[in-house]
């Protein structure tokens, strides 16, 4: 029963990772870049929600809705200030530039909010405390269900966007061949920028869940980035639904690892990620060939 | 009336100069064929007109207005559409999506339905991924995709390349229908006979320069061939 | 027209560098231990910058996980010292052992591209950090001291550590220098300029990259060894911190990615900045991060690369230059 419960909690945890990873997956899918500041953007989102909650007293969910337009603006600003330039400059530049940005965001947050930890759990209402006891060892938390349902809705909505709307077609066309997309009248710059804005908004949703589920501080970002990236890679880079499954696989690995020893949780996730990389890139084959 | 004017256009790839001081005009309703050997600069010239290649010098004018600094997607809304070399379809999108993503706000006769009417072979393939189409079907989608923006100037780059002769015939039948309706077309074609048939006027490029220009009907084939290969004209 | 490696400037500079190594070797005899300790830190930074540049600047491999080797080098030192190996011998053994771990890692890590490699290495560093935290004998999460060094008098200890740092810096920089000048160096620069083109003319890209990866791992392990020797105490939270990568990226980007001299300049700059802003703090890190991002976007060749480009100046003869050839107008 504890194993079953661990798997269930792993699915809930993994749905959270999938939400975090979603934006990373969109940006990689459309622009072939990984934003190393993605985790910090999520944490920034959590702080913006926190500020709105503190100022107005609304619930964290309402505050998130208020924060949405801010995140859209931040997304466009991120794109036109950093990403657009770096896209034109080879494959290492986006990584270097966003790594620098990551350090900037973390330390600006330190300056604005002190290094103390914060949580949005207190302002999210009953959802954080409610749960259903299915049987003795199996409990379903309302928050876990909420995150899972949200993740499925987010990925489903993205699927609809990509396959049924003009913006979706433009994103897919630009991702395949930006030059040809321009020739059929698609403004590839604008498409890239809206992909970034979308990624930032979903990252903020991940930040909201991070804040409600647990605590965050100005340097929480890099850990979130690693988990998000692991989810993307485990699910197969560039595959949308793969990212959801990858997140869930990562979540389950972590909760099962925690069954062995609390410190094994994160380790188990890392090892799953590395194992997937080894399996996918034929590391095993190389080892054999070298040994011969 | 002049629709497109190219003035002293220079195009370079690094140190390689592909187009050197090319000037010509295309009037409303005209069909102009650009001919020349491989590497003569035809593709580069079309890409520069469409905005996909930034010229090093010279100007491109549409309706007398300088569009040099205009990005490719805005030229599409001005009415320029290029069917690029190698077709460049979005392979992960279906035929319908390839067409729809290219629809513009410009009013005109072209829509998904009218494109499918001109290229009936695409009817049963509407939901197929572009990557899974045959060469002829892909070329039809590429032309249809360009038409979706209701262009006033259609640029066609080697539409017959890699296609079976029968398929080329079918593509050109559809094209002559479109041309017959009064569209303005600049096309690059390797097949000289085909080019002389379709075009009203022929411009021959050699090593990036215009070496011969004239009405298709008034040019004799030998002169075109010698210009094409850069042979000295008999004295 | 002739091809030459050595210019007058590079001869003078390389000679000057050799002389300055000799002068540096005398530092512990003249200065206070705390000055010696600071200069040891500078040498560690130079070593780290040169190694990160070897990876990214010549191999096109952007790692944000070199702290894996820094941490493993540091912890291996403590591990071997605790086994009873004399501390300075333990440092040499630790460098070799931690560096050698890069060989199995390279078998799969080098197959990863851009972000996969960058974050994959980061995850490896995180794994190493967690493993250390699980081991009570290595102080778990709270850290551990290299108590065996207390057997030396502080002045001597600091001097020995400094000489070790100087030795490591000279060995690894010389190794990189010779590597870049060897026939291998030409293929490395070809890879840096255009990996696909290099592969198409038959350069064995994978084995060349492995060479750089292993060299950088040994260099970073040596730096980790020096960190524990210089500070006497390590904890997994800081020695495996991604902050090391931030410093390396800053030094190399500001100094000049893919130049031999640039990272040394970058290390001196970072050292000067750290000496000025002794309080550290968020603003200082905001500055470092923003500077790195701006250099990546606007000045990708860094300070040294830009100077080199503008003035044709080259202090270390790692490349070739063509003299007396007329610049022909390439046309057609």
- The pLDDT score that the predictor gives to residue A26 is 94
pLDDT reading at C137 higher than 90: no
Q: Which has the closest alpha carbon to A60: A207, A229, A275, A242? A: A207
- The pLDDT score that the predictor gives to residue A145 is 94
Pick the residue with more confidence: A59 or B235?
A: A59
Q: Which of A85-99, A130-144, B59-73, B203-217 has the lowest mean pLDDT?
A: A130-144
What CATH number is attached to the domain comprising A119?
A: 1.10.3470
Q: Which of A236-250, B171-185, C260-274 has the lowest mean pLDDT?
A: B171-185
pLDDT reading at B234 higher than 50: no
Paired tokens of C296 = 């990546």
pLDDT reading at A291 higher than 80: no
Q: Does A173 touch chain B (CB under 8 A)?
A: yes
Q: Specify which residues B16 forms β-bridges with.
A: B13
Q: Å from A265 to nearest chain C CA?
A: 10
pLDDT reading at C319 higher than 70: no
Task: Select from A80, A92, A246 the residue whose CB has the most chain C CBs within 10 Å, as the one to mutate to test that interface.
Answer: A92
Mean pLDDT of C73-100: 93
What are the residue ranges spanned by the domains of chain C?
2-323
Q: Does C249 touch chain A (CB under 8 A)?
A: yes
What does pLDDT average to over chain C?
85
Residues of A in contact with B108 (CB under 8 A): none
Q: Å from A29 to nearest chain B CA?
A: 13
Longest pairwise C-alpha distance within chain B: 59
- Contact criterion met (CB < 8 Å) for C331 and B207: no
In terms of Cβ atoms closer than 10 Å to its own Cβ (0-12, 13-18, 19+), residue B220 is exposed
Q: Å from A182 to nearest chain B CA?
A: 5
- Contact criterion met (CB < 8 Å) for C64 and A93: no
- Contact criterion met (CB < 8 Å) for B100 and A179: no
Q: How many CA atoms lie within 13 A of A130 on its CB side?
A: 8
Q: Å from A230 to nearest chain B CA?
A: 26
Residues of B in contact with A182 (CB under 8 A): 51-52, 71-73
Q: Which of A8-22, B23-37, C269-283 has the lowest mean pLDDT?
A: C269-283
Instruction: Name the closest residue on chain A to residue B77, using Cα atoms.
Output: A185
Q: Which residues contact C246 (CB under 8 A, 6 or more apart)?
A: A99, A103, C285, C288, C289, C292
- The pLDDT score that the predictor gives to residue C314 is 64
CA distance B153 to B104: 14
Q: Å from A102 to nearest chain B CA?
A: 32
Pick the residue with more confidence: C203 or A246?
A: A246
- Contact criterion met (CB < 8 Å) for A104 and C62: no
Residues of A in contact with C118 (CB under 8 A): 34, 36, 95
CA distance B102 to A147: 37
| Residue B8 phi, psi dihedral angles, 5° rounding | 45, 50
pLDDT reading at C327 higher than 50: no
% chain A with pLDDT above 70: 96
- The pLDDT score that the predictor gives to residue A251 is 96
Pick the residue with more confidence: B108 or B132?
A: B132
pLDDT reading at A3 higher than 50: yes
- Contact criterion met (CB < 8 Å) for B71 and A187: yes
Q: Does A88 touch chain B (CB under 8 A)?
A: no
Reported as a pLDDT band with limits 50, 70 and 90, residue C332 is very low
Mean pLDDT of C301-326: 66
- The pLDDT score that the predictor gives to residue B233 is 52
Q: Å from A273 to nearest chain B CA?
A: 28
Architecture category of domain C2-323 in CATH: Orthogonal Bundle (1.10)
In this structure, are residues C209 and C61 in contact, taking their beta carbons and an 8 Å threshold?
Answer: yes
Tens digit of pLDDT for each residue in C226-249?
A: 999 999 999 999 999 999 999 999
- Contact criterion met (CB < 8 Å) for C246 and A99: yes
Mean pLDDT of B54-80: 93
Residues of B in contact with C332 (CB under 8 A): 16-17, 207
Residues of B in contact with A180 (CB under 8 A): 84, 88-90
- The pLDDT score that the predictor gives to residue C124 is 95
Interface partners of chain C (CB pairs < 8 Å, 3 or more) are: A, B
Instruction: Name the closest residue on chain B to residue C330, using Cα atoms.
Output: B15
Tens digit of pLDDT for each residue in A208-256?
A: 999 999 999 999 999 999 999 999 999 988 788 999 999 999 999 999 9
The alpha-helical segments, DSSP class H, found in chain C are 8-25, 27-30, 33-53, 59, 67-82, 87-100, 102-109, 114-134, 154-181, 183-193, 195-200, 205-231, 236-239, 243-255, 262-276, 281-298, 302-311
Give the closest of A169, A182, A183 to B93, CB-based: A169
Mean pLDDT of B41-68: 93
Instruction: Name the closest residue on chain C to residue B13, using Cα atoms.
Output: C332
Give the closest of C107, C288, C297 to A82, CB-based: C297
SS3 at position C211: helix
| Residue A130 phi, psi dihedral angles, 5° rounding | -75, 145
Tens digit of pLDDT for each residue in A105-157?
A: 999 999 999 899 999 988 888 888 888 887 777 888 999 999 999 999 999 99
Residues 164-223 of C with CB under 8 A from A: none
Q: Compute CA distances A278 → A173, A228, A234, C242, whole Å.
A: 31, 19, 11, 23
- The pLDDT score that the predictor gives to residue C95 is 95
- Contact criterion met (CB < 8 Å) for A186 and B73: yes
Looking at the structure of chain A, the number of domains it has is 1
Q: How far is CA C211 from the centre of its chain?
A: 15
% chain B with pLDDT above 90: 56
Q: Which of A19-23, A123-127, C87-91 has the highest mean pLDDT?
A: A19-23
% chain B with pLDDT above 70: 98
Mean pLDDT of C41-64: 93
Q: Å from C30 to nearest chain B CA?
A: 56
- Contact criterion met (CB < 8 Å) for C62 and A92: yes
- The pLDDT score that the predictor gives to residue C281 is 80
- Contact criterion met (CB < 8 Å) for C114 and A34: yes
- Contact criterion met (CB < 8 Å) for C289 and A85: no
- The pLDDT score that the predictor gives to residue C3 is 60
Residues of A in contact with B96 (CB under 8 A): none
Reported as a pLDDT band with limits 50, 70 and 90, residue C329 is very low
Which residue segment(s) compose the domain that A67 sits in?
A: 2-291
- The pLDDT score that the predictor gives to residue C201 is 77
Q: Which of A135-139, A221-225, B11-15, B195-199 has the highest mean pLDDT?
A: A221-225
Give the closest of B50, B93, B103 to A183, CB-based: B50
Give the closest of B51, B82, B92 to A172, CB-based: B92
Q: Does A54 touch chain B (CB under 8 A)?
A: no
What secondary structure letter does DSSP report for B217? T
Q: Tally the residues of chain A.
A: 292
Tens digit of pLDDT for each residue in A97-119?
A: 999 999 999 999 999 998 999 99
- The pLDDT score that the predictor gives to residue C203 is 76
Instruction: Name the closest residue on chain A to residue C117, using Cα atoms.
Output: A277
Q: Which of A100-114, A247-261, B121-135, C142-156 has the lowest mean pLDDT?
A: C142-156
CA distance A235 to C60: 26
Task: Select from A185, A186, A189, A238 the residue whose CB has the most chain B CBs within 10 Å, as the one to mutate to test that interface.
Answer: A185
Instruction: Name the closest residue on chain B to residue A188, using Cα atoms.
Output: B73
- The pLDDT score that the predictor gives to residue A92 is 87
Q: Does A160 touch chain B (CB under 8 A)?
A: no
pLDDT reading at C324 higher than 50: no
Tens digit of pLDDT for each residue in C55-76?
A: 998 888 999 999 999 999 999 9
Mean pLDDT of A256-275: 92
Reported as a pLDDT band with limits 50, 70 and 90, residue C322 is very low
- Contact criterion met (CB < 8 Å) for A169 and B148: no
Task: Select from A160, A184, A186, A239 the residue whose CB has the most chain B CBs within 10 Å, as the one to mutate to test that interface.
Answer: A184
Q: Specify which residues B13 forms β-bridges with.
A: B16
Global pTM reads 0.89
Reported as a pLDDT band with limits 50, 70 and 90, residue A1 is low
- Contact criterion met (CB < 8 Å) for B97 and A179: no
Task: Select from C248, C293, C295, C300 the residue whose CB has the most chain A CBs within 10 Å, as the one to mutate to test that interface.
Answer: C293
pLDDT reading at C330 higher than 70: no
Q: Å from A55 to nearest chain B CA?
A: 44
Residues of B in contact with A173 (CB under 8 A): 90, 93, 98, 101
Q: Which of A138-142, B21-25, B49-53 has the lowest mean pLDDT?
A: A138-142
| Chains A & B: contacts with CB separation below 8 Å | 64
SS (H, E, C) C78-121: HHHHHCCCCHHHHHHHHHHHHHHCHHHHHHHHCCCCHHHHHHHH
- Contact criterion met (CB < 8 Å) for C111 and A86: no
ipTM over 0.85: yes
In this structure, are residues B103 and B148 in contact, taking their beta carbons and an 8 Å threshold?
Answer: yes
- The pLDDT score that the predictor gives to residue C331 is 34
Residue-wise over C182-195: b if at least 16 C-beta within 10 A, else e?
eebbebbbbbbeeb
In this structure, are residues C1 and C327 in contact, taking their beta carbons and an 8 Å threshold?
Answer: no
Q: Å from C306 to nearest chain B CA?
A: 21
Residue-wise over A267-278: b if at least 16 C-beta within 10 A, else e?
bbbbbbbbebbb
Q: Å from A162 to nearest chain B CA?
A: 10
């Amino acid at each position: 029963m504890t194993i079953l419960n661990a798997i269930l909690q792993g699915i809930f945890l993994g749905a959270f990772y999938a939400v975090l990873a979603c934006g990373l997956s969109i940006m990689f899918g459309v622009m072939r870049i990984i934003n190393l500041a993605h985790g910090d953007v999520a944490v920034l989102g959590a702080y913006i929600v926190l500020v709105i909650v503190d100022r107005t007293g609304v619930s964290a969910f309402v505050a998130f809705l208020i924060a949405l337009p801010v995140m859209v603006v931040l997304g466009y600003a991120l794109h036109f200030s950093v990403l657009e330039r770096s896209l034109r400059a080879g494959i290492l530049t986006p990584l270097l530039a966003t790594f620098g940005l990551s350090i900037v965001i973390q330390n600006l947050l330190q300056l604005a909010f002190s290094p103390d930890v914060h949580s949005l759990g207190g302002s999210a209402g009953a959802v954080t405390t409610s749960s259903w006891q299915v049987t003795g060892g199996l409990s379903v938390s309302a928050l876990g269900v909420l995150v899972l349902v949200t993740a499925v809705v987010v990925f489903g909505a993205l699927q609809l966007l990509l396959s049924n709307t003009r913006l979706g077609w433009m994103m897919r066309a630009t991702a395949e061949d930006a030059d040809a997309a321009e020739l059929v009248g698609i403004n590839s710059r604008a498409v890239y920028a809206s992909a970034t804005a979308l990624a930032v908004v979903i990252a903020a949703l991940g930040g909201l869940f991070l804040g409600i589920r647990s605590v965050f501080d100005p340097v929480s970002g890099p850990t979130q980035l690693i988990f998000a990236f692991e989810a993307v890679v485990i699910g197969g880079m560039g595959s949308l639904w793969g990212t959801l499954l990858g997140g869930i696989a990562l979540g389950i690995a972590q909760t099962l690892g925690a069954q062995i020893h609390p410190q094994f949780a994160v380790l188990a996730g890392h090892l799953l990620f590395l194992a997937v990389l080894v399996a996918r890139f034929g590391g095993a084959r190389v080892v054999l060939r070298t040994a011969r | 009336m002049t629709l497109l004017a190219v003035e002293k256009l220079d195009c370079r790839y690094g140190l390689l100069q592909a187009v050197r001081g090319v000037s010509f005009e295309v009037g409303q309703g005209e069909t102009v064929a650009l001919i020349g050997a491989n590497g003569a600069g035809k593709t580069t010239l079309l890409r520069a007109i469409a905005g996909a290649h930034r010229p090093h010098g010279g100007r491109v004018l549409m309706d007398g207005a300088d569009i040099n600094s205009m990005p490719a997607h805005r030229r599409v809304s001005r009415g320029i559409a290029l069917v690029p070399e190698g077709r460049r379809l979005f392979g992960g999108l279906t035929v319908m999506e390839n067409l729809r993503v290219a629809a513009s706000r410009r009013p005109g006769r072209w829509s998904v339905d009218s494109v499918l009417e001109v290229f009936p072979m695409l009817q049963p393939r509407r939901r197929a991924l572009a990557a899974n189409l045959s060469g002829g079907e892909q070329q039809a989608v590429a032309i249809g995709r360009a038409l979706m923006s209701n262009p006033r100037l259609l640029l066609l780059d080697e539409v017959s390349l890699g296609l079976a002769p029968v398929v080329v015939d079918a593509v050109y039948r559809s094209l002559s229908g479109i041309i017959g309706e009064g569209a303005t077309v600049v096309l690059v074609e390797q097949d000289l006979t085909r080019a002389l048939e379709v075009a009203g006027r022929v411009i021959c490029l050699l090593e990036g320069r215009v070496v011969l220009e004239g009405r298709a009907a008034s040019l004799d084939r030998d002169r075109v061939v010698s210009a094409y290969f850069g042979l000295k004209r008999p004295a | 027209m002739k091809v030459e490696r050595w210019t007058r400037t590079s001869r003078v500079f390389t000679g000057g560098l050799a002389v300055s190594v000799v002068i540096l070797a005398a530092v512990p005899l003249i200065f206070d231990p705390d000055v010696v300790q600071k200069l040891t830190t500078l040498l560690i930074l130079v070593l780290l910058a040169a190694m990160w540049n070897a990876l990214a600047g010549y191999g096109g491999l952007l790692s944000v996980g070199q702290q894996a080797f820094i941490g493993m080098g540091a912890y291996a030192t403590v591990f071997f010292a605790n086994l009873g190996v004399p501390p300075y011998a333990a440092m040499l053994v630790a460098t070799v052992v931690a560096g050698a771990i890069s060989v199995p890692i390279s078998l799969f890590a080098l197959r990863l591209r851009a972000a996969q490699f960058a974050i994959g290495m980061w995850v490896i560093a995180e794994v190493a950090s967690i493993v250390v935290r699980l081991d009570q004998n290595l102080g778990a999460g709270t850290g551990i001291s290299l108590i065996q060094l207390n057997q030396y008098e502080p002045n001597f200890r600091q001097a020995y550590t400094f000489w070790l740092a100087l030795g490591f810096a000279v060995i690894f920089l010389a190794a990189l220098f010779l590597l870049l000048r060897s026939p291998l160096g030409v293929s490395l620069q070809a890879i840096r300029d255009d990996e696909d083109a290099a592969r198409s003319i038959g350069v064995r890209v994978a084995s060349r990259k492995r060479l750089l990866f292993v060299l950088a791992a040994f260099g970073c392990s040596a730096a980790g060894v020096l960190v524990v020797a210089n500070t006497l105490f390590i904890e997994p939270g800081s020695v495996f911190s991604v902050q090391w990568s931030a410093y390396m990226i800053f030094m190399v980007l500001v100094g000049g990615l893919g130049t031999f001299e640039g990272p040394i300049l970058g290390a001196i700059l970072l050292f000067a900045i750290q000496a000025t802003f002794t309080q550290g703090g968020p603003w200082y890190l905001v500055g470092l991060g923003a500077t790195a991002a701006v250099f990546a976007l606007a000045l990708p060749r860094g300070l040294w690369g830009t100077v080199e480009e503008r003035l044709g100046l080259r202090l270390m003869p790692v490349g070739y230059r063509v003299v007396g050839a007329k610049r022909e107008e390439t046309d057609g």
